[in-house]
């Protein structure tokens, strides 16, 4: 193979740029950087440590700055914006699309937002204010207001002549034209592929597709993404409560939503934000991490407190101290598996109040089998190690209790947290660990206190 | 708001279908089911527990079965295929696209694959064999072989007349036509939007875009996805080593890759496969989970063995048994944060051998600050609880040691595992926990043995 994989190319590029910056080859580095797509520049900046990053940011062409800012993660974008003068910010955002501008504005200080708004013409300002009226994670927040609409009664030939007037090209991601009636209400879409393959004398009404459901502006971004994925959409119209078309969502924005949602689940379990900058300033990172360590310390001390209730028991049978982490850890592992399945089920809209009972039933059945198997194995090892049948029986019982409690919590916690408005991806793991630690230590040491002393 | 969110609609739909199946309203349930898009049917089937699922699968129209199978997760698809006769499978796959058929074939028994292949015409069989020649997770495996190619020297008008011959429509996800030379080598793409907005007398060569880099067939699916995301692509051509166009990849397949890769990271941490079926048969689930519990039991017993070395110490100072889980747990939390950042960095192609040193430096600095803070806090609590300065000093030292070791392992493990071909998303967490448990217990109990006895 002579072709290079871009992952290798990506990291090679990082290393190459890094070397140029280190050796002071400013002209070479500037040329290399500005030959890239703004998204690639953003990707590179995210991969550079602070000092090189600052140097590289200074080299980016003024005309590309706005686009690069768009593609950066929130953390890094905020930190770069903070160091920019308002004149430079104004220049950077000048050429951006309305929806992109709306995204950026939400991160800018209010004084600059006002300046940007006043620098726009009437039509753009109105569109921008519409876009800013919806939360970032809704269909309205994702939508783009530049779109091409047509009326149902005209012929395809007329449409084609109309399109030829767009000398600057159609808006990005246009795979269809939106068909609206006199009141601006949504009727259907005319795919460009249909426009090109049908008889020019056919009317739009004859050729348009009715199977694309418009998205309500208030629709949650996660649900927008699920619909795009299920129906393989490239773009979809967004409508208000009365069915009037406000704009359209394109698949590139949806991919960002999918990526962010997935990262939220993955990073959230470690108490990290999905916008976490890998090379954030040390003090900023330290402060955020400290919070998470603090929360977890509370649960650790709760577990320690439970153990502390049994000091007298441990003093008499030290083997308990040796084995107790095994009980807690097995519960944690089993519970996390069920928790993970349930969190994914909720994110995909596949877990509801009704079928969670089925999930619980199935997971409990799995848990009964596995707690049986592993209780026996652990009891066997404990017996061989400490030669004490009572300890073996007690740890078998404790593991069974803890695995069942863990599975029960793992299945029900996410839906419960979701109902009361707490993010299961962020809080689920901590709460579950608290349950499995407390139940594990309590069952093991409690049973030991009753039967051994 | 009168509009319903589809997440609510999704789970409502699940509940409604469930109720119909329970009450035996077969006709109503069949009608409801077959009014849906195959992807929605697949989504519903995934959300149903086994018995209802079987009933519902029996109600799906024969003509939709192939498409529904495509959208199912691997686990469920395999289990449904196992119960289908080869005649039924042959009928189901008849109308599928080549790339979709290739995906399905990889899950079918060899005898049926042979039957399917022999039932195809020459051209389709050849295309299918090309598609089957590439691994599923490469550009070649993702690509679709049905595409429209044009030559550079013709005019747009000729292209438009040519397209009008596609009475059945253009292949799904067509946003551009691929421009090739006489030898089939890639030259550029002609966007439909450009075709529609330019002068019909212009030549393809004048209007085509050169900025879409073709993807080599061997390119890793993850890298394909990163390119699509960075460059906001809707479709991209796939070429062989000589630059000849083999097919094209569309954004809907890329969205699946992004989702699967993200789920792999999320589910992998709990030892689950991204294709895990929420309602898989109990015995199948139990067997898979048992394996993961077994692996983790090994690390738990390794930690127990370390504690066992210090039985005599614990017997004399029971407070150590009470506090030791705190030391292990703090290390686990801190290490997981760094590990998670590094795993994401690798997945995004942002972490290389060079900048991992920067990440390590930054994370160690964060860790020094946080271990300082939390060592003090824990020492304070330990002092207040047990009134023993030595224990307080020892736990402070142990927490500092464990947090630094955890951060060090968290930063370097993923890249190391990746290099030696082990999946960091799957193995990283287990190995890290082993490190933080062993180092935590060893540091705490070891220091106590030296200084307290």
Q: Has residue A274 been placed in a domain?
A: no
Per-residue model confidence as pLDDT tens digits over A167-189:
888 888 899 999 999 999 999 99
Q: Which of A1-10, A108-117, B333-342 has the highest mean pLDDT?
A: B333-342
Q: Are A14 and A44 in contact (CB under 8 A)?
A: yes
Question: Are A341 and B311 within 8 A, CB to CB?
Answer: no
pLDDT of residue A404: 97
Q: For the residues B377-394, what does the mean pLDDT come to? A: 96
The interface predicted TM-score (ipTM) is: 0.87
- Inter-CA distances, A29 with A16, A84, B300, B449, Å: 9, 22, 50, 56
Our CA angle for A316, A321, A327, nearest 5°, is 130
- Which of A106, A135, A164 represents a domain boundary (last residue)? A135
Residues 272-331 of A with CB under 8 A from B: 272, 276, 278-280, 282-283, 285-286, 289-290, 292-294, 296-297, 299-301, 303-304, 307-308, 311, 314-315, 318-319, 321-326, 328-330
A209 assigned to some structural domain: yes
Chain B residues touching A315 at Cβ < 8 A:
315, 318
**What digits encode the pLDDT tens for the residues B111-144?**
778 888 888 888 778 878 877 888 888 999 899 8
Q: To the nearest whole number, what is the mean pLDDT of chain B?
A: 90
On whether residue B144 sits in a domain, the answer given is: no
Looking at the fold, whether A60 and A158 belong to one and the same domain comes out as no
Across A67-71, B143-147, B282-286, B311-315, the highest mean pLDDT is recorded for B311-315
Per the CB < 8 Å rule, is B366 touching A286? yes
B274 domain-assigned: no
> pLDDT: is B121 or A241 the higher one?
A241
Summarize the confidence of residues B82-111 as an average pLDDT.
Answer: 80
Residue A403 lies in a domain: yes
Are the beta carbons of A359 and B278 separated by less than 8 Å? Answer: yes
Quick check: is A334 in a domain? yes
* Whether residue A76 sits in one domain with residue A29: yes
Instruction: Tell whether A210 is covered by a domain.
Output: yes
Predicted confidence at residue B9, as pLDDT, reads 61
User: Does position A7 have pLDDT exceeding 60, yes or no?
Assistant: no
Q: Which tops the pLDDT comparison, A400 or A279?
A: A400
Give the pLDDT mean for A315-331.
Answer: 96
CATH of the domain at A173: 3.10.580.10
A291 plus A319 within the same structural domain? yes
Q: Does A94 score more than 50 pLDDT?
A: yes
- Tens of pLDDT along B4-37? 344 456 677 788 887 888 787 888 889 988 988 8
| pLDDT at position A373 | 96
Q: Which whole number is the average pLDDT over A422-436?
A: 93
> Which of A296, A324, A334 is closest, CB to CB, to B293?
A334
Are residues B422 and B361 both part of a single domain? Answer: yes
Which of A112-116, B135-139, B242-246 shows the lowest per-residue confidence on average (mean pLDDT)?
A112-116
Residue A57: per-residue pLDDT: 92
Give the domain extent around A67.
Answer: 6-135
Residue B3 scores a pLDDT above 50: no
Report which of residues A380 and B10 the model is more confident about.
A380
Number of folded domains in chain A? 3
Q: Is A304 found in the same domain as A362? A: yes
CB contact under 8 A, A292 and B3: no
Q: What mean pLDDT comes out for the span B308-335?
A: 96
Residue B6: predicted pLDDT: 44
Segment B58-80, tens digit of pLDDT: 999 988 898 899 888 888 888 88
pLDDT band at A75 (very low <50, low <70, confident <90, very high): confident
Which of residues A233, A268, A303 is at a domain's end? A268
A405-417 pLDDT per residue, tens: 999 999 999 999 9
Let me know whether A114 and A171 are in one domain.
no
Is A193 within 8 Å of chain B by CB?
A: yes
Task: Name chain A contacts of B283, Cβ cutoff 8 Å.
Answer: 369
Residues B235 and B346 in one domain: no
A6 near B CB under 8 A: yes
pLDDT over 70 (residue B425): yes
Q: Is A387 on the interface with B (CB under 8 A)?
A: no
Residue A286 and residue A424 in one domain? yes
A12 in the same domain as A127: yes
Clarify whether residues B255 and B334 are in a common domain: no
Here the CATH number for the domain that contains residue A347 is 1.10.357.20
For the stretch A135-170, pLDDT in tens is: 888 999 899 888 899 999 999 999 999 999 988 888
Which range, A182-196, B31-45, B345-359, is most confident?
A182-196
What's the confidence (pLDDT) of residue A104? 81
Q: What is the per-residue pLDDT for A327?
A: 97
CB distance B321–A323 less than 8 Å?
no
In the structure, what pLDDT confidence band is assigned to residue A4 with cuts at 50, 70 and 90? very low
B61 touches chain A (CB under 8 A): no
Of B136, B163, B187, which marks where a domain is finished?
B136
**Does B414 fall in a domain?**
yes
Does A114 share its domain with A17? yes
Do A385 and A407 fall within a single domain?
yes
Summarize the confidence of residues A386-398 as an average pLDDT: 97
Q: Look up the CATH number of the domain holding residue A111.
A: 1.25.60.10
Instruction: Tell me whether residues A270 and B337 touch, CB distance under 8 A.
Output: yes
Q: Which of A47-51, A97-101, A294-298 has the lowest mean pLDDT?
A: A97-101
At B146, is the pLDDT very low, low, confident or very high (cuts 50, 70, 90)?
Answer: confident
């Amino acid at each position: 193979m002579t072709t290079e994989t871009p992952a290798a190319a990506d990291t090679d590029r990082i290393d190459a740029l890094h070397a140029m910056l280190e050796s002071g080859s400013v002209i070479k580095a500037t040329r290399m950087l500005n030959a890239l797509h703004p998204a690639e520049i953003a990707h590179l900046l995210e991969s550079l440590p602070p000092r090189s990053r600052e140097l590289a940011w200074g080299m980016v062409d003024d005309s590309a700055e706005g686009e690069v800012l768009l593609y950066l993660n929130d953390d890094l974008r905020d930190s770069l914006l903070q160091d920019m003068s308002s004149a430079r910010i104004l220049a950077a955002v000048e050429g951006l699309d309305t929806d992109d501008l709306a995204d950026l504005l939400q991160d800018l200080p209010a004084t600059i937002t006002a300046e940007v708004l006043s620098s726009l013409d009437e039509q753009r300002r109105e569109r921008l204010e519409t876009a800013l009226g919806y939360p970032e994670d809704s269909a309205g927040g994702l939508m783009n207001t530049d779109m091409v609409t047509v009326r149902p009664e005209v012929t395809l030939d007329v449409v084609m002549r109309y399109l030829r007037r767009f000398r600057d090209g159609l808006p990005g991601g246009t795979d269809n034209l939106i068909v609206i009636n006199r009141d601006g209400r949504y009727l259907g879409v005319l795919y460009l592929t249909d426009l090109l393959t049908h008889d020019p004398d056919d009317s739009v009404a004859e050729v348009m597709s009715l199977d694309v459901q418009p998205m309500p502006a208030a629709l949650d971004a996660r649900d927008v993404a699920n619909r795009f994925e299920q129906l393989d959409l490239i773009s979809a119209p967004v409508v208000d409560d009365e069915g009037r078309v406000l704009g359209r969502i394109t698949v590139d924005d949806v991919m960002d939503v999918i990526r962010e949602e997935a990262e939220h689940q993955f990073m959230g379990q470690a108490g990290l934000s999905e916008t976490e900058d890998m090379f954030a300033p040390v003090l900023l990172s330290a402060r955020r991490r400290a919070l998470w360590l603090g929360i977890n310390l509370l649960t650790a001390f709760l577990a320690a407190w439970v153990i502390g209730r049994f000091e007298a028991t441990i003093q008499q049978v030290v083997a308990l101290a040796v084995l107790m982490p095994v009980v807690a850890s097995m519960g944690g592992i089993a519970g996390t598996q069920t928790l993970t399945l349930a969190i994914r089920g909720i994110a995909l809209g596949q877990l509801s109040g009704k079928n969670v009972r089925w999930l619980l039933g199935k997971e409990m059945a799995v848990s009964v089998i596995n707690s049986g198997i592993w209780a026996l194995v652990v009891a066997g090892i404990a017996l061989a190690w400490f030669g004490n049948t009572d300890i073996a029986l007690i740890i078998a019982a404790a593991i069974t209790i803890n695995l069942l409690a863990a599975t029960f919590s793992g299945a029900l916690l996410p839906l419960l947290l979701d109902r009361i408005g707490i993010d299961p991806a962020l809080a689920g793991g901590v709460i579950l660990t608290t349950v499995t630690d407390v139940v594990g230590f309590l069952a093991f040491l409690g049973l030991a206190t009753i039967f051994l002393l």
